[in-house]
Amino acid sequence: MPKPFDLSELLARVRALGRRGQRDRYLEVGQLRIDRQDRTVTFAGADLDLTHREFMLLGYLAREAGRVVSRVELLQNVWETAYDPGTNMIDVHVKNLRTKLGEHASMIETVRGIGYRWQAEPGNRVA
C-alpha cells in the first residue's frame, strides 16, 4: 500500500485478508450453492455465470441471508471502500444478479432506504 494511506482503508484491507482465511469451501442457502474455491455458483440446479463483483456480492448477501444488509456494509465488505462514491454501482450489480437469477430474482429483496436482503427460504438453514 503506497504511503500516505488512510487508516480506514488499511483496516478494510486487513479485515478482507482475515476473511479470506476463515472460509469453508461451500456456502449453501436453500437452493443456492456457492463454491468459494472454484468460484462457481449453482441456483436451483442451474449454473450462474457471474463476474467477480457479482460473485462477491451474492456471496455476502447469502452469508447474511435473512438479514438486511445496508449499502454502506456492502461497500465496505464487497467493494472494500469506506465511503459512498455517490454512484448507483450497487444497484447496477444487484440488477445484473437479478437478471441472471431469472424467475428467482425476487430472492434479492430491496429494503427501501436501507439496503438489500437475500430471502432465507423457510425450512432451510445456512450450511
Q: Averaged over 29-58, what is the pLDDT? A: 93
Fold assignment, 7-118: Arc Repressor Mutant, subunit A (1.10.10)
55-96 pLDDT, tens per residue?
999 999 999 999 999 998 999 899 888 777 777 899 999 999
Using a cut of 0.85, tell me whether the model's pTM lies above it: no
pLDDT at 125 over 50: no
Torsion sign, CA atoms 23, 124, 34, 107: negative
- Which pLDDT score is estimated for 126? 42
Distance in angstroms (rounded) separating the CA atoms of residues 48 and 19 = 24
Domain ranges of the chain: 7-118
16-35 pLDDT, tens per residue?
776 665 557 889 999 999 99
pLDDT at 105 over 90: yes
